[in-house]
A and B are shown apart, each in its own frame.
Chain A
Amino acid sequence: MTEQHANPEDSDLYALGALDGQELQAFEAHVRSCSKCAQEVEAARRQVTLLGLAAPAAAPPPSVKESLMRRVRAERVPEMPWTVRRQEAAKPVRVSSFAWLTPAFGTAAVFFAALAALIWMKDLRDSKQIENLQAQLAVAQAQSVQIAKAAADADQLVGSAGTMRVALAQQPGGPSARAGVLYNARMGAVMYAGEMPPAPAGKSYQLWLVPASGAPVSLGVFSVTDPSMPMSAHVPPGMVAKAFAVTLEPQGGMPQPTGPKVLVGVVS
């Protein structure tokens, strides 16, 4: 029986992203089961990748690199003790403010303490406590910016219609970890807070959005030095989460999850 192969021109068009309609679907279905045509696609991809080099020469102004390096330096996260934040986060009196937690999630309420601490920052603005906190935050400006942003994000998320709270449940065999996510699909915003033990050497925790369809999307890699740092992220437009998960990955994270699940929470 003679094997039917796709038209060679379709490999080129596919690599260019120009194949469309039913032809695209049929081509992809064929290539998945035809090694010869898959090789044609790979060859075309390699060629297409470098077509951009044929563009007329143009040089970016020096200001682009200067701005890039400023942003890189601003993102540096220096070492800093987080005792104050964690102590504040551990205050039990505030746990009652999480009345939204269902009984099933009640035991997880205390684990949202880190998230609560961020929300409380607004309330504490005029207090002595915030002065102390601010004094310590000033030691590391980059991290304070991150916290302020997280606090602002939390304020905005908590006050917005449609914001959901998703408790992330510890997984069997995983480390003792407690966390939750604020998620607003309309705003495309996610905020994570929790308490995590340090990741093993050479490993990082990574937060994922599991969409209703398609592959998980990375929302960020946890700080190696402080995996309990809050994180905020933006969800790609149009993407709706059905769950959130934290996995243990090689240090620096992976494009797709490869390691064991540490925390999982389903969006109800």
Chain B
Amino acid sequence: MTASMQPVPDSALVERIMAGDESALAALYDRYAGMLFAMLVRILRDTGAAEEILQDLFLQLWRGAARFDANRGSMAAWLLVIGRNRAISRLRGRERREILEDPQEFSFESLPSSGNLEDEASRMQLMGRLKVGLATLPAEQREALELSYFEGMTQTEIAAKTGSPLGTVKSRVRAAMQTLKQYFDDGTTRQPGRL
């Protein structure tokens, strides 16, 4: 790959945003809006609401780009975490406690660095692997994981909805996460503190 084909790092785009460069925000939007919108629509099942949250996320990025230190964490991960949190809050009609937004516990180091997500080809590959992984989970495991991640349900709510004992719900989620781990681990996702 030639140097000209390397994506502009998120960190460089953030610096340009801090300098008031609108085109840098547009570039980050072009890079991540698709993956975010897909997640938001999956959670909300309402394209209008998804569009609203998507726009607000990038507007917040424009207003607060200085808060991000790309050396310590990932812009993509921040967008995914905050986007999911807001979508589920909207879906469930309540403020949702999000551990990655909790100032007492938030750690940039805990977020995956942009790394492979900055590159579209790598990002698409990861998306493909995860979709395959999720689709191939046993139905009850996939249901438990999806109810948790995309519906924002707690373990107790999942148990009530599925009619399964709490312990079974725990086991299903654990098994699903263990199975999916192999789809994350492609050699680029094993750095400590990074994906």
State the CA gap A59–B50 with chains docked (Å): 11
**A69 at the A/B interface (Cβ < 8 Å)?**
yes
Residues of A within 8 A of B184 (CB): 46-47, 50
Residues of B within 8 A of A46 (CB): 110-112, 184, 189, 194-195
Residues of B within 8 A of A255 (CB): 67, 103, 106
Known: A20-B156, A60-B54, A68-B29. A13 touches B148 (CB 8 A): yes
- Are B51 and A237 closer than 8 Å at their CB atoms? no
**A51 at the A/B interface (Cβ < 8 Å)?**
yes
Q: How many residues on A have C-beta within 8 angstroms of the other chain's C-beta atoms? A: 56
Least Cβ–Cβ distance between A134 and chain B, in angstroms: 27
Interchain Cβ contacts within 8 Å, total number: 181
- Are B174 and A8 closer than 8 Å at their CB atoms? yes
State the CA gap A215–B105 with chains docked (Å): 11
Other-chain residue from B51, B64, B170, B195 in contact with A60 (beta carbon distance below 8 A): B51
State the CA gap A75–B148 with chains docked (Å): 37
**A135 at the A/B interface (Cβ < 8 Å)?**
no
Known: A8-B174, A55-B39, A71-B59. A256 touches B80 (CB 8 A): no
Least Cβ–Cβ distance between B162 and chain A, in angstroms: 13
- Are B177 and A18 closer than 8 Å at their CB atoms? no
- Are B37 and A13 closer than 8 Å at their CB atoms? no
Least Cβ–Cβ distance between B53 and chain A, in angstroms: 10
State the CA gap A60–B49 with chains docked (Å): 11
Least Cβ–Cβ distance between A73 and chain B, in angstroms: 7
**A253 at the A/B interface (Cβ < 8 Å)?**
yes
**B8 at the A/B interface (Cβ < 8 Å)?**
no
**B173 at the A/B interface (Cβ < 8 Å)?**
yes
- Are A55 and B42 closer than 8 Å at their CB atoms? yes
Known: A60-B34, A76-B20. A55 touches B41 (CB 8 A): yes
Beta-carbon contacts under 8 Å, A46-68 to B: 46-61, 64-65, 67-68
**B91 at the A/B interface (Cβ < 8 Å)?**
no
- Are B25 and A17 closer than 8 Å at their CB atoms? no
Residues of A within 8 A of B29 (CB): 65, 68
10 extra A-B contacts, CB within 8 A, seeds A18-B153, A71-B55:
A8-B174, A9-B173, A19-B155, A46-B112, A50-B80, A53-B80, A53-B126, A53-B127, A215-B103, A252-B64
